[in-house]
Amino acid sequence: AALPLAGAAEQKIQVVTTVTMVTDLVRQVGGERVEVRGLMGPGVDPHLYKAAASDVAKLQQAEVIFYSGLLLEGKMQDLFTRLARTKKQVYAVTEGIAPEKLLEPPGMNGHYDPHVWFDVTLWSACVDTVVKGLGEFDPAGKADYERRGQEYKEQLRKLHEWALARAAELPREKRILVTSHDAFNYFARAYGFEVVGLQGVSTVSEASLADMASLVDFLKQRKVKAIFVETSVNPEALQRVAQDAGVKIGGEIFSDAMGAPGEVREGFDVGTYDGMMRYNMSTIVRAMK
């Protein structure tokens, strides 16, 4: 008797990812050959995320795992290390970035800042790790992954140029980005902004009253027009700062999670990395003008 036909989904490479940015990256490179399941959806803070039992099961069943790395998923790192020891293919997409391009902000105890996707050129450097990882598991698709990876890098090159031009619409002295947590250091370096986060690079420690008071002083002193809440961080503390300093909330921007698949804001598909970056930059430039 003929064996029952397997469903199309079962023939695809089963990939599990963490944050939405990595999920999108693997989909861009993998195309039709891969089935990608992201553990963290829109609005989820990766610094605080702990793997549920169901996540562990998904990771164990995955054929290839991609996560962001540099301790972005701080509470999951031990799990990835253990999974990698079982000979499973586990990749931090950021491993392909040259260390000299990484930032090491004060107070990080020698750890790198993980928010690399806010410099499009660094995120583009993560494409090759995905191409390599998928190609090693699925040699028949290697040429396809390489071609798709090249095409995506070309798209990212255009995105970076667009972002530079959009940022240049603001005079230097107006390029001050104030947000809930310090996720925008790479953005600052790439696009010429000064950034201030109420909380540190991780959201694990909350802002103190002293942090809030000093940010209020900064906003008044520098006559900052607007500050920005983030979709994956509780906005309360920053809203209080805005009120105390008499500045407006310029909008909600994406930091450590993108929008839902197909979600459109201001004409941009914020469920993709490309659209999320364009939405953020447009929102910031419009509010600060």
Give the residue with the Cβ less far from Zn ion, 69 or 149: 69
Residue 247 interacts with Zn ion (CB under 5 A)? no
Please choose, from the candidates 227, 246, 245, the residue with its C-alpha nearest in 3D space to the C-alpha of residue 284: 227
With residue 122 as reference, give the H or E element that holds it: helix 120-124
Compute the residue count for the chain: 289
CA atoms within 13 A on the CB side of 264: 3
Q: Least CB distance from residue 113 to Zn ion, whole Å?
A: 9
The window from 53-61, 118-126, 161-169, 176-184 that contacts Zn ion (CB under 5 A) reads: 176-184
Give the residue with the Cβ less far from Zn ion, 34 or 188: 188
Helix, strand or coil, per DSSP, at residue 196: strand
The window from 15-23, 63-71, 186-194, 251-259 that contacts Zn ion (CB under 5 A) reads: 251-259
Q: Least CB distance from residue 124 to Zn ion, whole Å?
A: 20
Give the residue with the Cβ less far from Zn ion, 66 or 118: 118
Say how many residues touch Zn ion, by CB under 5 A.
2
Within 8 A by CB and 6+ apart from 151, the residues are none
CA 41 from chain center: how many Å? 12
Name which of residues 117 to 156 contact Zn ion (CB under 5 A).
Answer: none
Phi and psi torsions of 265, nearest 5°: -130, 130
Among 24, 73, 256, 274, binds Zn ion (CB under 5 A): 256
Give the residue with the Cβ less far from Zn ion, 39 or 183: 183
Q: Least CB distance from residue 233 to Zn ion, whole Å?
A: 8
Whole-angstrom CA distances from 43 to 122, 191, 229, 247 are 23, 25, 12, 24
Q: Least CB distance from residue 237 to Zn ion, whole Å?
A: 15
DSSP state of 5: P
Residue 183 interacts with Zn ion (CB under 5 A)? yes
DSSP state of 31: G
CA atoms within 13 A on the CB side of 115: 24
Give the residue with the Cβ less far from Zn ion, 48 or 249: 48
Residue 230 interacts with Zn ion (CB under 5 A)? no
Q: Least CB distance from residue 145 to Zn ion, whole Å?
A: 29
Q: Least CB distance from residue 255 to Zn ion, whole Å?
A: 6
DSSP state of 140: G
- Interface positions with Zn ion (CB under 5 A): 183, 256
